[in-house]
Amino acid sequence: MELLLVLLVGLLYSSGIYMMFRRSMVKLLLGLLLLGNGANILIFLMGDLAKGQPPIIDEAEKVFLGSYADPVPQSLILTAIVISFGLQSFAIILLKKVYANTGSDDLDSLNVQDKDI
Amino acid sequence: MTANILLSPILIHMITAVICLLLWQKAGPQKLISILGSTVALLFSVMIFGLNWNWGSIVVFAGNWKPPYGITFVSDTLSTVMVLLTCLVGFAVSIFSTSAIGDSRIKYGYFSIYHFLLMGLCGTFLTGDIFNMYVWFEIVIISSFVLLTLGGKRMQMEAAVKYIAMNMLASVIFLTAIGILYGLTGSLNIADLGLKVKNIENQGLVQVTSLLFFIGFGIKSAVFPLYFWLPSSYHTPPSAIAAIFGGLLTKMGIYALLRVFTIIFQPDQFMLQFFSVIAITTMITGALGAINKKSIRRMFSYLIVCHIGYLIAGMGLYSTLAFSGIVFYLIHDIIIKSNLFMMTGIIYKIRASTDLRRLGGLYKDYPKLSLVMAVIMFSLAGIPPLSGFWPKIHLVTESVAQGKYLVLAAIIFASFITLILIAKVWAEVFWKELPKPNPEEVDKFKPLSVTEKISLVLPIVFLAAISLIIGLNAGSILEITDRIANEMMNPTLYIESVLGKKI
């Protein structure tokens, strides 16, 4: 299971970075999306996977005896997902506006203002 | 219970922002609320600074969850100084905004987003939890996205794509670093991490994580290979927004670097060498980039990059004297950079241009205003006894003492270029005869009402007076920065105050 997730994280990061190198704005956004998802799964993976062991203490016990699934990474991921949702929806609207303004999806067409020093 | 006062700057800015949201479309009341809110926040931040100075760090446990479990808010001297500066600059820019920002922008939520931005900054400086710091970072960047794009001009849109792509990338890298660090230590509390990171067996992985933090914060603070988004976006929004960005946003990255690399990671010889190299290249590229710019706002954007180099150089030197120097520089730089961009705003209002070739004769038309601007620019260049001079002495002394002559050369080179540019701006904008104005280049400053003029000029005079006081009263500022440097060199002070026990 870990190995599978490790491969998935690697795949998401590499494809995300590859997409960011493309000239198309939409691909840039998709790249950022993939990177964000890769980071979330990485956090999940770093919290040591434990299958079917909810972090609930038995009534009879005072402390955890066995191993249990760490709830902290999951709450971190939840927070990160919410934040990236907000950022991504903003970015999508922005790209739509940029496309409406410039009529182009090419990142190189955005350097008009950089020519005048 | 009394410790809860630590959260007041965050809460006051939040409440102000919410009230401004409720007054949607009503420009007049929003201006009043904004000034009121920033004044109250300023008073509270002064109080927190005083409390911290006299009685030591204040620690608040959210929900009374003791560390390392809950989120903690901690004030040490560095964070209270940063909060004080945020509220100070926030106050000045808030007054400046009332007449520098058009009513159409204000109606669509300028002030509420502005206060959310300040709230995020205060939160970043006060939090004692690395993941919470990430959340505050996100609040700051999403507010800055909105401020950058508000108005929707084509130029702003172009700049925003670069700005947003780089900042989102920086956040992902920061998040990755947090994830790995959590996997290694099982903790998120900065103080607790400081204890646990030392005991990790695989120090190679720790090194990689620290580099990830450096890249994430480095993008935000615009250091050498990662700075290019800054000069291509900071000249596009209105000057009030550029003032708050230029003064505070890059310094937030520096603050995070200082925190992470003094408490969590202890940089080894390789990292220090690495910081020095980055510092030297940042100073040189920033200075060279600024030289050939014809627009003063673009020039000042490159100067931000150049002066970030000083701060990284101090981290490369890593000693009490160097830290004292860079904290002093941080205090000076936040005030002066915000003021510089507000000043550019007034020049633009007067001449309707920021192009050096189109400007001129300002000293003849506005002699008193020009003198205030002279104070700002001379402190930027670091002419003694103004505020930019004192921190550089520390940096120079320390780099000589450690034999890092390349750092010394870069510091002197960057200061020299800054001086040349200031002389150039002074000659071109203030002394040169005004070229025959184009029809659209009319003075929009003169017809303003007296209150509008005051609200534009007062913040500049206020911040210029503060940098003058800092320069003339350097002794007491050095007392503060020496204490901060001492705290930074002895991270156990911070760790003990958070965990509440001897280690």
Are the Cβ atoms of B169 and A32 closer than 8 angstroms?
A: yes
Residues of chain A neighbouring B158 (CB-CB closer than 8 A) = 98, 102, 110-113
Closest by CA to B16, choosing from B118, B166, B100, is B118
Check residue A9 and give its pLDDT: 94
Check residue B92 and give its pLDDT: 95
Closest by CA to B159, choosing from A104, A112, A18, A58, is A112
Number of neighbours of residue B43 by Cβ within 10 angstroms: 15
- Mutating which of B169, B298, B357 best tests the A interface, going by the most A Cβ atoms within 10 A? B169
In tens, the pLDDT along B224-253 reads 888 888 888 888 888 999 999 988 999 999
Check residue B408 and give its pLDDT: 93
In tens, the pLDDT along B68-119 reads 888 999 988 999 999 999 999 999 999 999 988 888 888 888 999 999 999 9
Is residue B405 pLDDT above 60, yes or no? yes
CA distance A57 to A62: 7
Q: Which amino acid is at B93?
A: V
Check residue A116 and give its pLDDT: 57
In tens, the pLDDT along B422-456 reads 999 999 888 888 888 777 778 888 888 888 888 89
Sign, Cα dihedral of B483, B487, B489, B493? positive
B233: DSSP letter: T
pLDDT band, residue B126 (cuts 50/70/90): very high
Number of neighbours of residue B483 by Cβ within 10 angstroms: 17
CA distance A64 to B204: 32
Are the Cβ atoms of A43 and B182 closer than 8 angstroms?
A: yes
Kindly state the average pLDDT of the residues B408-413.
93
Kindly state the average pLDDT of the residues B114-135.
94
Distance from CA of A5 to the nearest CA of B (A): 14
The series of mean pLDDT values per 10 residues for chain A, 117 residues long, is: 91 94 90 93 84 79 78 90 91 89 79 60
Kindly state the average pLDDT of the residues B25-44.
92
How confident is the prediction for chain B on average, in pLDDT?
A: 90
Among chain A, residues having any CB pair with chain B shorter than 8 Å are: 20, 25, 28, 32, 35-36, 38-39, 42-43, 45-48, 70, 72-73, 76, 79-80, 83, 86-87, 90-91, 94-95, 97-98, 101-102, 107, 110-114, 116-117
- Mutating which of A9, A33, A96, A113 best tests the B interface, going by the most B Cβ atoms within 10 A? A113
Is residue B344 pLDDT above 80, yes or no? yes
B235 three-state secondary structure: coil
pLDDT, greater one: B195 or B442: B195
Check residue A112 and give its pLDDT: 64
Check residue B2 and give its pLDDT: 65
Check residue A113 and give its pLDDT: 60
In tens, the pLDDT along B263-282 reads 999 888 999 999 999 999 99
Q: How far is CA A80 from the centre of its chain?
A: 8
Check residue A114 and give its pLDDT: 58
In tens, the pLDDT along A67-96 reads 778 888 889 999 999 999 999 999 999 989
Is residue B502 pLDDT above 60, yes or no? yes
Angle of helix B130-149 relative to helix B250-259, nearest 10 degrees, comes to: 170
Residues of chain B neighbouring A47 (CB-CB closer than 8 A) = 182-183
Closest by CA to B206, choosing from B278, B134, B271, is B271
The token pair that represents B442 in the structure block: 């009319």
Contacts of B345 (CB under 8 A, 6+ apart): B96, B100, B238, B239, B240, B242, B243, B456
Distance from CA of B228 to the nearest CA of A (A): 11
Is residue B58 pLDDT above 60, yes or no? yes
Are the Cβ atoms of A113 and B175 closer than 8 angstroms?
A: no
Distance from CA of B468 to the nearest CA of A (A): 32
Q: How far is CA B54 from the centre of its chain?
A: 26
Kindly state the average pLDDT of the residues B145-169.
88
CA distance B148 to A65: 52
Residues of chain A neighbouring B135 (CB-CB closer than 8 A) = 79, 83
Kindly state the average pLDDT of the residues B21-27.
88
